[in-house]
Amino acid sequence: MKKVVALSVAGIDTGNGAGAETDIKVYEILGVHGTLVVSAITAQNTRGIKDILVIERDFFQKQLETVLEDFDINNVKIGMIYNKEQYEVVKEYLEGKTIVTDPVIFAKDGTQLIKDLEDYKKYILPITTVLTPNAVEASYFSGINIKTLEDMKKSSKIISNTYNIPYVIVKGGHISTKYSFDILYDAKKDFFYLVGYERINQKNTHGTGSVFSTVISAELAKGEKIYNAIRIARDILQTSIEYGLEIGKGIGPVDPLVYIEKNAYKYKVIEDMYKFANFVESTPSFYKLIPEVQSNLAHSIPSSYVKDLNDIATFKNRIIRNWDNKVSIGFPVVFGKPTHTARLLLATIRKGERATVLINLRYDENTIKLLRLYGYDVIEIDREKEPEHEIEGKSMQWIIDFIYENYGKIPNVIFDKGMKGKEAMIRIWTEDIDTIIDTLNYICKNLS
């Protein structure tokens, strides 16, 4: 098997939140083989940098020579490089290659990571293909105090023209607005390309610059166009920030692994849904559990990853009892459909329960008895107490809110005996698909 190869020239972050480790992680996530030249080793944690060991020139150069003599490098990402000696080596060995540069002037704690700034501008910026400064860094390189979108545009063009950089991407995360923009200036076309996104209020943002620039490097290495690369980078970064890690005592790192973890979990959910369908279709008495309004199964990825209905799968159509008591499954499996079961599962998860599976069943007193015998905590809710003014589609949220306010938890089994216009119903949630299958199998075998 072959993979494209990219090179990261960066420092080591002992807290594994940014720098070279993050670059390699991102390359692997995106199917690129990442190689590495280390510029420095930082003594670093989530609270800041305590010291920096700079790699001396000869060994820094030896690393570059060794990597370049063996690998066909499709793209280079430059992160932290510290002093003039390193800049000279980088220029000598990498000039002419496609280079994405993340100009890491300062760390999150204010530590200066580029010692010789004037030499950096002289040696590194002119050999750069894509520059990815944040608003603070762009202000330094352009001389403009960036406060607005127009400032970002002016700054990106000035930097491009001054240092002959084909593409300059000024990131808008440092500008305090509800919505932010990344602005790409394309010097070849004299064109501005904007990518808008919603600001995420999250303190754990260490490593955002590393992730963003390395995604662009990886996508360019694979042959992607710069416009698509920046959109992919922003999408991955938004997810990484949203799931920032609450570790350490300071500013935790973003988590780019979530990008593939969620996709992997969704694949597992789909497999589980087919497993459930096979169980239903091979259980002759399952039809006894289906209510008049029919059933549907909701299945989420692990609850700690769930943000909204897009993380919850259901069957596109309901689980139906036919005239001959055979059961039909409403394939395909879809994510994001606002069914009653999906909304109820989401509301349950948001109360802190580790629920991942939920199904609605026909109300039957014998089923309730069997569920209690099986060991479940069962609670009845009186739907007559539901306010008449409840907004359509909010009934499931009301059920969960009412139970939580009165009982302080969400039991695995919630049932009601119905009301005018509302069929009596049982709802069961479990932490995994096997538990729900075992439970329903027990009921089917013992229900008269």
Q: Which two tokens stand for residue 66?
A: 């060794």
DSSP characters for 127-162?
A: G-SEE--BHHHHHHHH-----SHHHHHHHHHHHHHH
C-alpha 216/C-alpha 374 separation (Å) is 53
CATH of domain 264-446: 3.40.225.10
Q: Is the dihedral of CA 285, 287, 290, 292 positive or negative?
A: negative
Beta 425-430 vs 357-362: how paired, if at all?
antiparallel
Question: What is the full per-residue pLDDT of the chain (448 aa) written as tens digits?
Answer: 999 999 999 999 999 999 999 999 999 999 999 999 999 999 999 999 999 999 999 999 999 999 999 999 999 999 999 999 999 999 999 999 999 999 998 877 778 888 889 999 999 999 999 999 999 999 999 999 999 899 999 999 999 999 999 999 999 876 666 788 899 999 999 999 999 888 888 899 999 999 999 999 999 999 999 999 999 999 999 999 999 999 999 999 999 999 999 999 999 999 999 999 999 999 999 999 999 999 999 999 999 999 999 999 999 999 999 999 999 999 999 999 999 999 999 999 999 999 999 999 999 999 999 999 999 999 999 887 877 754 556 788 888 998 999 888 999 999 999 887 789 999 999 999 999 999 999 999 999 7
Q: For 365-401, give the secondary structure using H, E and C.
A: HHHHHHHHHCCCCEEECCHHHCCCCCCCCCHHHHHHH
How high is the pLDDT of residue 393?
60
Superfamily per CATH, domain 5-256:
Ribokinase (3.40.1190.20)
How high is the pLDDT of residue 201?
86
Domain boundaries, the chain: 5-256, 264-446
Q: Which two tokens stand for residue 128?
A: 């750069």
